[in-house]
Structure 1
């Protein structure tokens, strides 16, 4: 087995020229061959291979293997049959028939109208859903149409949203949202709240868009202290240099505290998570950030030293701007996932991480992209189809061995956004940020905060291939 470092290099994503696919129609790939790719890829790399009998090396003889492959009518069906405990343990492995789109999204480019939204239902027994605008991306159709954070919509193209239809209604590149107002009936409780439709609507169109994950960076003066505030919405490698520049700005302003807003950050690159954590600290260079655990076959063939992610002081030779902080405030919601959780979990043994908001998603596993090629890398890819897989291949443990947080990471201070009055992101009066600032002023005093029992059932990142990803690059 090659070293893990070389393995990672094999999976660095690159765009593939269109010329590779000129024979797709003339030479269609057989379902049997696609199924063969799926089984062999999962047999080699899947994190939970040891728990899936049909992935055992000695499971089939040659004729049994052929019969097994031919018993599935699509690679998707075979893939799902090999996933370990889909509802609880492996919620995140997936397969795509378009890896070009996958590559674009891993580099931060999606079809996007600029409306980043959440979807909420009032109770666990309700199927009705309403949407709320979380933030609006610059230079997009949503910005041009005047959308703002806090806008409520109850229907799309005139059809009321519910659990069964919201994915279909919000997937097209063009749709019309039907607006509503939020009525809290003048009480702090949410059990008497309601959504009241209006006669207003807005048409939105998606276009290719590359999102800068550094959405807000600013300095707030609080109780004669400089507090840095960073709203960071995705661990995207292409913006690591800008992230480093942001921390240079924080250094120049001599901040004493940092509020890291990850409430809508569903994850991304493991390497970027290490860099961000090293920028927040800086005093732990060379010490263990996290440890990887693969399936037993791969684990036994890797040098133990190559299983360790360390804090670092540079990114490919470029020095990091580090704050040397002993405490960080992190804002979270159910949409906080993957690489965001990695930062929280792996900083916890080293510094005081004050988590404010809601319980996170619960994803401690990382994936890699497997292509149909001799070594599953993006070299010599089979030119007659564009299938690829993104299976979980490793899980992460912090330096004291904590992992398997399937139910998410619980906050130190429980609080939720007020859908009837979301406030302005970055404003000291915005609910979650205000709690962090009050905690700083009151030197750690924790008071009870308002909390909504309404359930967030989805968000705009559900419509991308890279939702809740922590990937090795």
Structure 2
């Protein structure tokens, strides 16, 4: 008997599997067990937590028939996939499977369906069920911007229906909806026991359209005590915009900035390579040194260590496919990050920290240090040669990142150096010197410690966070890799 079932092909299975069928996006009858075979094989090879899942053990099945029966015991590829996830609620909250990898590829390139309104949902004061939404960001050139939605706008109903913990998902997931605006009423007292959210009679109708987000949301240069301070709000590590990012740093370099404020407060992550490039633009003096290392499941880790240990190392760069990076050679950077800052955003903070002085302003970050990759139903799990009969793909966690001194497993997020919360009743405009988080960074640069104390002591409503708009994105908080693995390592791992 073979050591494991990875060598089985679908042709081997056809003779004795009683296939259950379903309809794919093209209404073609596809065997569910055929796709389930792809799911198990891919997870067996790549899944970070393979060692914790007995059903993924290489010797799990003693015969082809036992393997076939196992696949047939699941009603769908999705149910099998979920059965193979390690501690979904606490450890692996991020692996997923899709039945349309075209949409997935569009998302990774920055294309999605959106009305451009990013928001946070809170429980209303003195309520355990009623919700209030606050707009935290309006994306440039989006439907929301066109319709006049502003950062800080508050809404308590959709289509005239009060928002609650029971209906928020269905109301806000619709392609078209109207937000009913509201105001916060403290009823003239300092206590919050009588605070209410009151409708103001205004409303704005929004439509979700195909939208390509430029993650470079806002840049500026400020003068502080005779020194130039660069500011960049960067909302996603999207490889398609690496060239534009390099151009932003060219402008910073031309203006001889002495300080940089990198605003990642709402950045859910993205491309690992883009994170390396951004970090190399901030620095430049560490070209070729270790940016981060990778830890895979034990089988794949051993294969990489034996074949090419360099593949486990990500290094600082001085070019992007031959184009020189506009590096600033800074020895300090201010990074604004909050609980909405995840994965590749955290990778930048964690990987720069051993090399330069990283001043993290804001809140604890999300706590996602694992990366994923897209697996297709092909012989080597790449896009080339993918099974033309369906469009399923998986995005499982495949490794966790460590910085050069080995720091990882920051499940509770990265700790801020200067804790500071946004004031949700007075968010201010992004880029305004009085906006709380930017003002904190500028105050630290200028040495105005009293200003920071003043910002910390400003009153903030006792809101209880419920959800943010990233939670509506199926692929939010992602850190993914695009680098191909050598065929010899894949072949040795898959077909041994």
Fold shared per TM-score above 0.5: yes
Q: How does 1:282-321 map to 2 (within 5 A)?
A: 282-302=284-304, 303-321=308-326
Tell me which of 265, 276, 281 is aligned to 2:283: 281
SS across alignment from 1:40: helix
* Bigger radius of gyration: 2
In the alignment, the residues of structure 2 paired with residue 109 and residue 206 of structure 1 have an alpha-carbon distance, to the nearest angstrom, of 12
How far 1:87 moved relative to its partner? 1.3
Q: Does 1:460 align with 2:462?
A: no
User: Which runs of 5 or more structure 1 residues have no equivalent in the other structure?
Assistant: 1-21
Q: Secondary structure at the match of 1:301?
A: helix
Tell me the CA shift for residue 324 of structure 1: 0.9
What is the CA–CA distance in structure 1 between the aligned matches of 2:440 and 2:394, rounded to whole Å? 41
**1:393 aligned to which of 390, 398, 404:** 398
Does structure 2 conserve the Cα–Cα contact (< 8 Å) formed by 1:120 and 1:457? Answer: yes
Query: How many positions carry a matched residue from both structures?
Result: 452
Residue 254 (structure 2) aligns with: 252
Please, which of 92, 95, 101 is the counterpart of residue 93 of structure 1? Answer: 95
1:465, CA displacement in angstroms?
3.4
Deviation string for 1:118-156 (max 9, x for gaps)? 222358983332211122222222122111111011121
Task: Give the ranges of 4+ consecutive aligned residues of structure 1 lying more than 4 Å apart after TM superposition.
Answer: 22-26, 122-125, 184-193, 443-446, 450-453
Q: Contact (CA 8 Å) 1:24, 1:384: kept in 2 or not?
A: no
Residue by residue, what CA displacement relative to the aligned partner does 1:37-69 show, whole Å, maximum 9, x if unpaired? 211111110000011111001111222222221
Cα pair distance change 1:212/1:194, threshold 3 Å: same
Classify the secondary structure of the residue corresponding to 2:30.
coil
Query: Partner residue of 1:63?
Result: 65
**Secondary structure at the counterpart of residue 87 of structure 2:** coil
1:106–1:466 contact (8 Å) kept in structure 2: no
Residue 185 of structure 1 and its aligned partner are, at CA, apart by 5.1
Aligned to 2:82: 80
Matched, 1:430 2:448: no
Residues 365-414 of structure 1 deviation map (CA, whole Å, 9 limit, x = unaligned): 00001111111111111122211111000110000000011111121111
- Give the distance between the partners of 1:119 and 1:284, measured in 2 at CA: 41
> TM (normalized to structure 2)?
0.87
Q: After superposition, what is the alpha-carbon deviation per residue over 1:247-283, rounded to whole angstroms, capped at 9, x for unaligned?
A: 0111111111111110010000000000000111111
Deviations 1:414-458 (A, max 9, x none): 111111111011011001111111111117786471466534333
Which residue does 1:205 correspond to in 2? 207
Q: TM-score, normalised by structure 1?
A: 0.91
- Quick check: 1:124–1:455 contact (8 Å CA) kept in 2? no
Q: CA deviation at 1:315?
A: 0.5
* Equivalent residue number for residue 349 of structure 1: 354
Q: Give how far 1:462 is off.
A: 2.6
Take 1:167 and 1:313, find their aligned partners in 2: how far apart are those partners?
44
CA RMSD of aligned residues (A): 2.1
Whole-Å Cα distance in 2 between the matches of residues 307 and 31 of structure 1?
Answer: 35
- Kept in 2: contact 1:105–1:464 (CA 8 A): no
Give the unaligned 5+ runs of structure 2. Answer: 1-22, 483-496
2:386 aligned counterpart, secondary structure: coil
Q: Is the Cα–Cα contact under 8 Å of residues 247 and 279 in structure 1 kept in the other structure?
A: yes
Residue equivalent to 2:407? 402
Distance 1:353 1:124 in 2: 39
2:361 is paired with a residue whose SS is strand
Aligned to 2:330: 325
Cα separation, 1, equivalents of 2:122 and 2:155:
11
In structure 2, C-alpha distance between the alignment counterparts of 1:413 and 1:185, rounded to whole Å:
33
CA distance in 2, matches of 1:194, 1:348: 43
What is aligned with 1:413? Answer: 418
Alpha-carbon distance change, 309 to 59 in structure 1, aligned in 2, over 3 angstroms: same
Moved more, 73-82 or 391-400: 73-82
Q: Tell me what 1:360 maps to.
A: 365
Instruction: Give the number of the structure with larger relative contact order, counting CA–CA contacts within 8 Å between residues 6 or more apart.
Output: 1
